[in-house]
Chains A and B, each alone.
Chain A
Amino acid sequence: EAGVAQSPRYKIIEKRQSVAFWCNPISGHATLYWYQQILGQGPKLLIQFQNNGVVDDSQLPKDRFSAERLKGVDSTLKIQPAKLEDSAVYLCASSLGGFTGELFFGEGSRLTVL
C-alpha cells in the first residue's frame, strides 16, 4: 500500500516569496491534515479536512497561508508571502476517519526562508 506522498521534499526561498506544497494521501483516507513542525517542537495542526470540507483551520495564519483539497483527495498548502518564521517542516497526514485513530504521515516538506 502506498503511503502519504509529499512534494517537494526541500524548498529554499527568500522572504516575501511564495511557495506551495502538495500532498497525496493514502487511497480511501477521508481525513487529511497539514501540520507545521518547527525544529525541536512537536507538530502544530494547521488545518484538517474531512473529504473536501474544512473541519478545523483555527491555527492557520489565514493572512498568508491557504489550503485546499480538491475532490476530497490531493491537497495543496500555499504560503504567500513567506516570513522567516515560516521555516519549518510541513507534514501531511491522513487517516480513515471514524474512530480508527491511526494517523499516517508523509516524510514532510522542509522549508527554509532566507
Chain B
Amino acid sequence: KQEVTQIPAALSVPEGENLVLNCSFTDSAIYNLQWFRQDPGKGLTSLLLIQSSQREQTSGRLNASLDKSSGRSTLYIAASQPGDSATYLCAVDMDSNYQLIWGAGTKLIIKP
C-alpha cells in the first residue's frame, strides 16, 4: 500500500531564503507526482506535475525533482517571499486514473 509522507509538518523561514520541501513515498511504481499549494480556507492549486519518466519540472521560482528509485521528491523554492506562505502538499498517482494518494502537507511560513 502506497504511503506518502511529508516532513516537516511545519517550517518557518525568513524572507529571501531558498528552501526545500520534502516528499517521500513507499512504492516507487508511480505514474506521476504532483505538488499543490493550499491557502487557508481555499482549495488546492496545482503547482507542478512530474511524470514518472521525468527528473524535474520548473515553474518560475519553483523547481520540483523526482527520484523514483529512492522514493523521494523535493520542491525547491528560490528567494522565498511572504506570499509563498501556505501549505504545500504532494500527491502521487499510481495508475493514471488520477486517484491521488496524498501527503499531509508542510505548512510553510515566510517571515518578512
Contact = CB atoms under 8 A, between A and B. Distances in A.
Interface of A: 4, 31, 33, 40-45, 48, 55-56, 91, 93, 95, 99, 101-108, 110
Interface stretch (B61-69, B74-82, B88-96): B88-96
Interface residues of B, number: 23
A110 B102 CA distance: 19
Contact of B45 (A40, A43, A105): A105
A101 B49 contact: yes
Given A45-B99, A101-B49, 12 more contacts: A40-B104, A42-B102, A42-B105, A45-B100, A48-B99, A101-B32, A101-B93, A102-B34, A103-B100, A105-B43, A106-B43, A107-B43
Contacts of B91: 42
A31 B97 CA distance: 10
B104 A103 contact: no
Given A101-B32, A105-B43, A42 B104 contact: yes
A39 to B, nearest CB: 11
Contacts of A45: 99-100
Nearest to A41: B104
A34 to B, nearest CB: 12
A108 B29 CA distance: 31
18 contacts: A42-B4, A42-B89, A42-B102, A43-B102, A44-B102, A45-B99, A48-B97, A48-B99, A55-B97, A93-B43, A93-B44, A101-B34, A104-B46, A105-B45, A106-B43, A107-B41, A108-B42, A108-B43
Given A91-B44, A107-B43, A108-B42, A56 B102 contact: no
Nearest to A6: B43
A41 B93 CA distance: 18
A4 B102 contact: no
